[in-house]
Amino acid sequence: MMTTENIGPGLIEDSVGLVEPGYYTFAEPPGDLPLRCGKKIGPVTIAFETYGSLNEKKNNAVLITHALSGTAHAAGYHSIHDRYPGWWDLYIGPGKPFDTNRYFIICSNVIGGCNGSTGPSSKNPVTGRPYGLDFPMITIEDMVRAQWHLIKHLGIEKLLAVAGGSMGGMQALKWTIIYPDMVNSVVAIATSASLSAQGIALNEVGRQAIMNDPNWSGGDYYTSKPPDAGLSLARMIGHITYLSDKHMHEKFGRQFMDSDPSEYDFKTSFMVETYLHQQGIKFVDRFDANSYLYITRAIDFFDLKKDFNGNLINAFENVSANFLVISFTSDWLYPSSQSREIVHALRVNEKNVIYTDIETDRGHDAFLIENPALKKNITNFLMREFEKISSQ
């Protein structure tokens, strides 16, 4: 999975180097994977990458769970020609918080995704054509249950930690509830026990942008032109929610791409407009519109309170993991109050939890960029957890 051979000059020294994705297929019919919606699916393929080495005791494995638009490619480079490394390369690698000299790091693409794991763009074995909207509805719980199969396949009985931000944090929380004996600790960043009404509303606007694109064709667009305009618009809407007002003002203000316009028309672009258009264009090159629909809906449906008779305290009653919960002061999509709600429920259950609300103006996306406080918190927490189990 990981190699440091033939590293080109463009690959930085503290990177995990060149990496190759792996693929694990399971749930071959008739042993299909049961889903929470009541349907089954099979076979199921999970795309994943690993970094570092599993030790002899097999007690140093850390599962990284990704957010909405993430992939299994969390660190390193697929080619010496890659311009950018994996999405969490700042945090995964030698000497980094998820230290690959110490831990065995695993990251997989969620089911329902479009980057190697089974999703709406995958071939339906019944029809021989892409699933499209015939793909069953999936939930965060289904993502976690699929990951369980991968972890067992890798020969790991208990994870040192499950870590993730945003939707990744939802998966991490669900891991501790479904498989309490398999998780030693959790790093839950910028996440919640359920998405707010505002978050659901914004997701729905994004979905409507896709479904109202004439090229969406009811989800059956794989042999024709895809709904790029709708997906691009959905990404633009979503990207606004990842940033804070202060950061957007500091980054763009009211600056125009060129000098102050001599004409007032729709061709004139503010810098922030151009930035959002660029984000939309880049996104359609790597993401499937139907996957966007399915994954955002899975986020909407996630509700730990509802799962436990409206009481979040009940959700964490039987968990055995130790928790590091982190929020960001300027995150309005997953505000700090939602993290504090999780912390309160854990403490009522007398669970071991550390909570940090990091001061930053970078909004929800703060966990994806350089942040010394975040790095320090993760590093110290994981080291303590690893030292505790190593001494047992």
Which CATH number goes with the domain that contains 40?
A: 3.40.50.1820
273 and 134 in a common domain? no
Domain with 235, as residue range(s), is: 196-301
Share of the chain above pLDDT 90, in %: 91
Look up residue 371 and give its two tokens. Answer: 């942040």
CATH number of the domain at 225, please: 1.10.1740.110
Q: Crossing angle for the helix pair 228-242 and 289-301, nearest 10 degrees?
A: 40
- For the stretch 347-361, pLDDT in tens is 999 999 999 999 999
182 and 205 in a common domain? no
Q: Residue 271 in contact with residue 255, Cβ under 8 Å?
A: yes
Among 142, 228, 331, 365, the active-site one is 331
- For the stretch 56-69, pLDDT in tens is 999 999 999 999 99
CA–CA separation, 70 vs 93, rounded Å? 18
345 and 226 in a common domain? no
> What's the confidence (pLDDT) of residue 265?
78
Beta-carbon neighbour count of residue 232 at 10 Å? 23
Choose the final residue of a domain: 255, 276, 301: 301
What's the mean pLDDT in 88-99?
A: 97
Per-residue pLDDT band at 258 (split at 50, 70, 90): confident
Calculate the dihedral angle through the C-alpha atoms of 29, 30, 31, 35, rounding to the nearest 10 degrees: 80
Indicate the pairing of strand 44-51 with strand 98-99: unpaired
What are the residue ranges of helices labelled H in the chain? 140-153, 167-178, 197-211, 228-242, 245-251, 271-284, 289-301, 304-307, 312-315, 336-348, 372-390
Quote helix, strand, coil % in the chain, to nearest 5: 40, 15, 45
Choose the final residue of a domain: 267, 301, 335: 301
Q: Residue 54 in contact with residue 60, Cβ under 8 Å?
A: yes
pLDDT of 259 over the 80 cut? no
> What's the confidence (pLDDT) of residue 7?
46
pLDDT of 11 over the 80 cut? no
Residue 330 annotated among the catalytic residues of the structure: no
| Number of independent structural domains in the chain | 2
14 and 64 in a common domain? yes
> What's the confidence (pLDDT) of residue 267?
75
205 and 182 in a common domain? no
Calculate the dihedral angle through the C-alpha atoms of 100, 101, 102, 103, rounding to the nearest 10 degrees: 20
CA–CA separation, 265 vs 151, rounded Å? 55
pLDDT of 13 over the 80 cut? no
336 and 231 in a common domain? no
314 and 175 in a common domain? yes
Choose the final residue of a domain: 301, 332, 359: 301
CA–CA separation, 43 vs 82, rounded Å? 32
What's the mean pLDDT in 89-113?
A: 98
Q: Residue 262 in contact with residue 106, Cβ under 8 Å?
A: no
19 and 148 in a common domain? yes
Q: Residue 47 in contact with residue 22, Cβ under 8 Å?
A: yes
203 and 174 in a common domain? no
Among 166, 244, 291, 327, the active-site one is 166
- For the stretch 122-157, pLDDT in tens is 999 999 999 999 999 999 999 999 999 999 999 999
129 and 261 in a common domain? no
221 and 353 in a common domain? no
The mean predicted confidence, pLDDT, of the chain is: 95
Residue 217 annotated among the catalytic residues of the structure: no
Per-residue pLDDT band at 1 (split at 50, 70, 90): low
161 and 57 in a common domain? yes
Among 89, 228, 327, 364, the active-site one is 364
